[in-house]
Chain A
């Protein structure tokens, strides 16, 4: 019978005793060393599960223990111990099982981030009381006013009330839209833009109001923001980011101490993914709403073009990394809106005046001096700023 070399500790002192261990008669383990003579029945012993190359431990009934290098004999001595961990150990040593585990983990990770996190966040968002969302929105607004350079609007009252009427008309028969409100802000730092905050607040910047050539472009933008509001995008985005942060932090833990970076990068990338999803939802909502209100959805395309022209005019030195922004999608979004516009034109031929390509002079003989209108929009180029398509790093913002 083979005997194994082991180190024996009596559990009372830290003294090491070298012993030889062997199986006596299939029921007894015999320990022999200087001053150690013990025969122990197997059923009183407990063995630690096998794990990689680490030493095995056999616990004796009185607290003494044997420490010995891993050896196949050990599991033969205790065939019924630790069945679960014995099976796990076999998996760990099996190349196919390891490969399968990689597949399981990567797939579950993908499922978790593509469906799990959105699903969980949306369930929670649906359950949250309204006050929470409203409170969150107020918080975000206060921070924007303080840190993002939002100043009170310099639009005159008449202009503001005109736009407020358009906003009210747009949301008129949307369910639950009673408390949605429109705020005007002068934001040189943000440029022409509109934001949907959690809890129903829509902000439009003076820069956007003066950039557009036709108020129906503002309708299109506001309908898009109302789409964000109706679907609680800001809150859902906040919740999704929080989940991603929690999950990433759980795994990255202490390993890099750069947990901040390890957490921030996936959060940032996934945020882009989630926000593109929300943008298309809001776009679809805006196109539907415009058509319902008797305005051609093609105005949405028009608004996008106006913004795009502004950006490319500005953006000789536009350094935002292209693939991270939603830029490449602008084309797609415009096409989508044009398509909806054509459909609208076919379904409602009587509303031809609501189309952006409506030429009053050619079609109705109402001709006016077109130049004066163009002049207005030129002034806007002073109120410079950055790429309005860029998604703000702040989780709670949805930029149009």
Chain B
């Protein structure tokens, strides 16, 4: 189900009274203004929401989890603002509950199937794998449809065929290349997700070529390789040194030190990689001529990830809300949108007005399967 894409150019600031011209004069473009995303959530405030919702979920044996999800999403959306206007999360709890029940039933069927025959279980696992690209599109549609800003919803234009190519067929060359094509496949997938999003008449475009995903991954891979190689050399050297001239085995701690050092290396590289990929994706995304700008710093992200991990561990999980808020705060503080207009002239796509009703109609398939 495709649509004829509506190419609309960035709209200049419309003259005072409506109607807004469809093809604005591009004689005098407005200056490029950077609009920063703000996040105004607070850890103590979100803690209250999180803990009460978790307790209610436990006491209701999981049923309340759908309401908890909506409240959580609304909290993070509602505290994220662009040009002073908050985002809104509009999904209702019941479709989410339905989606969760289906997921639980599927999972139980999968576990139960294992009791009868491994073949049946493998069959079910294969079915889920085959359905995954379809589920992914449905999930993206759900999220986009219920994400709104300035009274207009986002949309994800479904293209199941393309989804199967990028999230299913491409795994074959990926395997055949022993993973070397991973950055390229990753790029193709991000491109698919970005390109199919709409905001009103505005089309999202992904400007990076999949090949641009190679530099960050190649750097990450070489650093990890060098780190492991160096670590292994040091380890071997240490063992030789410590057990030189004695028959006793090397002490335990050196093995632990080796393992911990390798994991720490992974951790560091992953934080820098996450920052680089997020920056690449945002900085290559255009929506109706407006560009995103993301300035995540790997070191800062690493610090947040690492300190969040420590906070969560020492608090037995109770500080998870603070961790989530910190991360959201940092992400928002690094993101901005460069635009020449004041965002007042974006219109709903012709006929999209009934989408709100359509959303209620295909309610059964309108489920959020959060896998």
Contacts and interface: CB of A to CB of B under 8 A. Distances in A.
A386 interface: yes
Contacts of A108: 58
Contacts of A35: 17
Interface residues of B, number: 68
Interface string B247-289: 1110111001000000100010011001000000000000000
A387 to B, nearest CB: 8
Contacts of B179: none
B67 A85 contact: yes
A84 B68 CA distance: 12
Given A91-B52, A104-B55, A258 B305 contact: yes
Contacts of A53: 40, 45, 79
B186 interface: no
B55 A100 contact: yes
B346 A14 contact: yes
Contact of B346 (A13, A97, A265, A319): A13
A261 B59 CA distance: 29
B344 A16 contact: yes
B58 A51 contact: no
Interface size class of A (residues with CB under 8 A): 35 or more
B129 interface: no
A207 to B, nearest CB: 12
A358 interface: no
A367 interface: no
In the complex, which of the residues B51, B152, B270, B271 has the most CB atoms of chain A within 10 Å of its own CB atom?
B51
Contacts of A309: none
Interface string B41-85: 100011111011111101100000001000100110011000001
A101 interface: yes
B300 interface: no
B218 interface: no
Given A57-B88, A257-B271, A104 B309 contact: no
Given A64-B151, A251-B317, A255-B324, A13 B348 contact: yes
A284 B83 CA distance: 69
Given A14-B345, A52-B75, A251-B320, A317 B52 contact: no
B309 A256 contact: yes
Interface in B194-221: 200
Interface of B: 17-18, 20, 40-41, 45-49, 51-56, 58-59, 67, 71, 74-75, 78-79, 85-86, 88, 111, 114-115, 149-152, 200, 247-249, 251-253, 256, 263, 267, 270-271, 274, 305-306, 308-309, 312-313, 316-318, 320, 323-324, 327, 343-348, 353, 356
Interface of A: 7, 9-16, 35, 48-49, 51-55, 57, 63-65, 67, 84-85, 88, 91-93, 97-98, 100-102, 104-106, 108-109, 124, 127-129, 132, 251-252, 254-258, 260-262, 265, 314, 317-320, 382, 384-387
